[in-house]
Chains A and B, each alone.
Chain A
């Protein structure tokens, strides 16, 4: 479809009436991911839509080629800023796959708990924001309150509320704190209670249901062709979850269900996210039971791990190792790898190319939101203008990863 950019000369302010061309975004309250929809309208019906992204292009891939492999972590955080921990873990797994490192069991459980917490906060934000844009402000406030509880745990563990930069190649920045398990149990149960309340409030609301039901329908075949993954693919009835089909970490050892929708409309996408929050809580509980209280978190591999501070200050070997790792970076074997994990929005892939040095030759992220958003125009065409808001909200376009 051709570009719908309008060449407006100054002073000519009349809008063409039929079809009327309207620019939604990039600064529009409902376009929260800074995206611009140029729509051609006939009355209120959308004839044609041109979705323009790139307003948050921050040059992620270019920046990665400038530092060491470990310096990529802060950038990964800011890709999907609703669930940074999943990105951290995804990137760490990709580099570890190249280096042939498997982190200790305790770390794998730890990563799973933190990752699922991040997934809960992702879904809470998406569902909450979607409800708010449809006018349901109270559930939004409640769900954000629940998200604060998750963030409390993450802050206690990592020191940062949002952008943790907590992953490391070969482990995590710090071992779990002593009160980790009780904190997680306490906050997850409170979160579930709030989710139950909010769910009742929304799903017994006729207006809310009517705005979502049978809006933005898509078939499973179309969704697959658009490379949709994650909750919005599962809403079409395809039970594809990388945690189940190609398990990584310890996902093959825990018991959980993959919620799927039936129709692939906006309501299904909303419900799948709600159901996944509960499944994540199940996973977290099992992980906490299996996670050991003692034992190493990081691999004992001087190629990638920084030495203990005592050894850095006390021994010449430690100083040199520290210096080499910081200034030259961990050397990653030459080659290429594609590693994929299930992030909040779907398949988060990292395609890494290494030339054997301490700097990545190419870091390619396969952002779920990018392919998900590419299907937006198909959903919108033929719908009413008021449907843009719930459909766009249910896609959960995250500017950081969509625009790289």
Chain B
């Protein structure tokens, strides 16, 4: 996917307007056609199944449904579950085999930070080994949170932003959280624009 595009990509500094438009176009195209590589290892795989199943339909709606079990054909690596030290070289090799541009979504607390498995066998977060674009916390995260993460990733792809981002929890005012929300805001724990 990348090779032919690269030949027409222009350097932003020299060509100004046209490049920006092309990047935007590419970003738009890329964000709606993510080919996923599900690297499913553990408990989060159950929620991953739920995410792709009829109730949530969390990937097809975002153009990210088609799984590719060859890393060379995929551009979004879902790391779903705990990565043990034994698994780490496998993950790294798969990441290296993927073509640019590629993104990584850390699904669940274990992939993000190792979770409560702080021990001899667990890698404390995939970012110790490979870069990670979006962290979705939760043990396992609810499909809604993962959908948030996927949308966050799409935003990042559209804007060309590569800084790692974390999915923030949502507060639902209808559930009576409004008061806590105000309290947390006044204390400065969360910023004003809760997502």
Contact = CB atoms under 8 A, between A and B. Distances in A.
Contacts of A385: none
B113 interface: no
A394 interface: no
A78 B54 contact: no
A52 B42 CA distance: 16
A148 interface: yes
Contact of B42 (A74, A78, A147): A78
A81 B119 contact: no
Given A27-B39, A58-B117, A32 B87 contact: no
Interface in B112-131: 116-117, 119-122
A187 interface: no
Interface string B43-80: 10111011001110000000000010100000000000
A163 B140 contact: yes
Given A162-B140, A399-B41, A145 B54 contact: yes
A162 B43 contact: yes
A57 B46 contact: no
A28 interface: yes
B115 to A, nearest CB: 9
B82 A148 contact: no
Interface residues of A, number: 32
A59 B121 contact: yes
A125 B86 contact: no
Contacts of B41: 34, 55-56, 399
B116 A55 contact: no
A362 to B, nearest CB: 16
B94 interface: yes
A57 B84 contact: yes
Given A141-B53, A148-B55, A161-B142, A81 B86 contact: no
Contacts of A27: 39, 90, 94
Contacts of A231: none
B176 to A, nearest CB: 16
Contacts of A56: 41-42, 81-82, 84, 87
A32 B45 contact: yes
A81 B46 contact: yes
Contact of A161 (B45, B47, B54, B67): B47
A339 B174 CA distance: 45
Contacts of A148: 50, 53, 55
A63 B42 contact: no
Interface in A155-173: 161-163
Contact of B87 (A55, A62, A144): A55
A26 B82 CA distance: 13
B158 interface: no
B41 to A, nearest CB: 5
A360 interface: no
A162 B46 contact: yes
A58 B87 contact: no
B46 A58 contact: no
A26 B90 contact: yes
Contact of A62 (B40, B54, B116, B120): B120
Interface in A384-404: 399-400
A163 B43 contact: yes
B139 interface: yes
A162 B87 contact: no
A54 interface: yes
Contact of A144 (B49, B122, B139): B49
A144 B122 CA distance: 30
B94 A58 contact: no
A82 interface: yes
Interface of A: 26-29, 32, 34, 54-59, 62-63, 74-75, 78, 81-82, 125, 129, 141, 144-145, 147-148, 151, 161-163, 399-400
Please provide the 3 A-B residue pairs with the shortest distance between their CB atoms, ordered closest to farther: A81-B43, A144-B53, A59-B119
Given A54-B84, A58-B82, 10 more contacts: A29-B67, A34-B87, A56-B87, A57-B121, A59-B119, A59-B121, A62-B119, A78-B43, A125-B46, A163-B140
